[in-house]
Amino acid sequence: MDIIKKVKQTIEKYNMLSIGDHVLVGLSGGPDSVCLLYILNMLKPEYRLKISAAYIDHGLRPEDVPEEIEFCKHLCESLNIPFYTQSIDVKNFAKNEKMNIQEAARILRYAALEQISLNIKAHKIAVAHNADDQAETVIMRLLRGAGPAGLSGIPPVRKKIIRPLIEIERSEIEKFLSERNISYITDASNESLKYLRNKIRKTLMPVIKSISPQATKIISRTADILREENDYINIAVTKALMRLMSRKTDKTVELFCNPMEVLNIVILRRALRVAIDSVRDLKGLSFDHIEEIIKLIKTGKPGDRIYLPKGIRAIKGYSTLTITAEAPKKLSTYEIAEPEDVYLKETNVVVSLKEIKKEEVKDFGDGKHTIYADMDKVKFPLIVRARKAGDYFYPFGFGKRKKLQDFFVDEKIPRDERDAVPIIESNGAIVCIAGYRLDDRFKIDDNTKRCLQIKILPKL
């Protein structure tokens, strides 16, 4: 079948274009994007399209970019198509976001195309992924352990992004350009085997095609099937989340545990991914992460938690699972001039300090939320603060010095809660870890006459 007819079939199949659309074409000067620009220009009268094109400079090949921009500019001038350029700083973005260059380039490229489309009021952004790109993507994701969502490949349409060549093989594109004597630019980086996609394209795909000449079509068709099934699963997941969700903010989602314990595992895995994505876009989430969360739901104790990439935490409660991207709370520094009640706003608790006579101490409390210290060993003002590097104290009943870090580990205090634990300090020495332990140096003894009662109370 003629390539123009095939592209038109793809456009109609996925409802990519409407009559009168303004389409921005991502143009690199390579064979795929040049072919896309020509074909859309040929379909321009039928759909009454307005076409523009944009070249995005990734800042990775400065020696090649001027020539490529000049080529794209002349090509657009020959077709009477408005042409735009924009530069992006991929290297710094990749470094700051701790991601690989290709992923950073993809994110910034689409952001740049989106911005240009808004500026020129384009309805659609057309990019030139073809059937071979689709097959290579599926194989690449398979090797990385992707599930059905990942194996559904590159979507033909995603919001305003359209891919009219997604069912066209690379050989058909090359034939189209050759027959019409249309020139294009070859990117030398596409030959480098340091990129996984290029390795698959240059080494694995030829072997696969030698076994099955129709491999590109077959893999692309499989991706279509998986995408349709994935859409169906997503509907079931949306319905499940409506029952599971207890509370939701921009950075936190709370899910009921009991229904998740009996939920179909396929739906549960996907529901957890969707819930996590709702608090932070997390590309680095692996299958193993999801399995850890499921184990936490089914066998974890209240207070148990899992630390996920990018600061996300999954915390098991008594009846709920909280997934949050909220930054852990950190206590400010408070100075107490005399015994009084002090509200710690970061943790919503009150540190209540009261001087009492020794004979008023009927028992020694629980040694945690109620602590008694020797008033005459304490020097006011007291400081209430968060932990500091190098902190140590002498835990009551332990008999020797201990690093605060080691104490927190032994007490199984979650690391995202440690900066919120109040440390009460007197003249540079830790009096107590509020809510946990008195320092032995400040304990009541036979010589004690006055006591300092320290209580940790929730604010009412």
How confident is the model over 260-277, as pLDDT tens digits?
A: 999 999 999 999 999 998
- CA distances 59 to 103, 189, 427, Å, are 14, 13, 56
What average pLDDT does the structure give for the chain? Answer: 91
* Residue 133, C-beta contacts closer than 8 angstroms, at least 6 positions apart: 32, 154, 166
pLDDT tens for each residue of 429-442: 999 999 899 999 99
Evaluate if residue 158 carries a pLDDT over 90: yes
Binding-site positions for ATP: 28-33
Token representation of residue 32: 């795929």
Evaluate if residue 188 carries a pLDDT over 80: no
Q: Report the chain's terminal Cα–Cα distance, integer Å.
A: 75
Evaluate if residue 11 carries a pLDDT over 70: yes
Token representation of residue 137: 């993507």
pLDDT category, 398, cuts 50, 70, 90? Answer: confident
pLDDT category, 103, cuts 50, 70, 90? Answer: confident
* Residue 402, C-beta contacts closer than 8 angstroms, at least 6 positions apart: 392, 393, 394, 395
- Amino acid of residue 52: S
The residue length of the chain stands at: 460
Token representation of residue 17: 């274009």
Beta strands in 252-304 (DSSP E): 252-256
pLDDT tens for each residue of 318-357: 899 999 988 888 999 999 999 999 999 998 899 999 999 8
For range 410-419, the mean pLDDT: 89
Domains, the chain, with CATH or none: 3-213 (3.40.50.620), 249-324 (3.30.465.60), 334-458 (3.50.40.10)
Evaluate if residue 194 carries a pLDDT over 90: no
Determine the pLDDT at residue 252.
92
Evaluate if residue 366 carries a pLDDT over 80: no
- Tell me the C-alpha distance between 140 and 200, whole Å: 7
- DSSP 3-state assignment of 186? coil
- Tell me the C-alpha distance between 267 and 247, whole Å: 20
The pLDDT > 70 percentage for the chain reads 97
* Residue 215, C-beta contacts closer than 8 angstroms, at least 6 positions apart: 135, 205, 208, 209
Evaluate if residue 282 carries a pLDDT over 90: no
pLDDT category, 165, cuts 50, 70, 90? Answer: very high
Supply the DSSP symbol for 395: B
pLDDT category, 365, cuts 50, 70, 90? Answer: low
Evaluate if residue 296 carries a pLDDT over 90: yes
Binding-site positions: 28-33
Evaluate if residue 149 carries a pLDDT over 90: no
275: nearest Cα among 229, 230, 320, 335:
320
For range 131-135, the mean pLDDT: 95
Determine the pLDDT at residue 361.
83
Query: Do the beta carbons of residue 453 and residue 370 sit within 8 Å?
Result: yes
Q: Which residues of 214-250 are buried (b: 16+ CB within 10 A; e: fewer)?
A: ebbeebbebbbebbeebeebeeebeebbeebbeeeee
Evaluate if residue 97 carries a pLDDT over 90: no
- Tell me the C-alpha distance between 457 and 352, whole Å: 7
Helices (H), 83-185: 90-97, 101-120, 131-143, 148-151, 170-179
pLDDT category, 364, cuts 50, 70, 90? Answer: low
Residues pairing with 248 in the sheet: 253
Determine the pLDDT at residue 19.
97
pLDDT category, 359, cuts 50, 70, 90? Answer: confident
- Tell me the C-alpha distance between 142 and 133, whole Å: 14
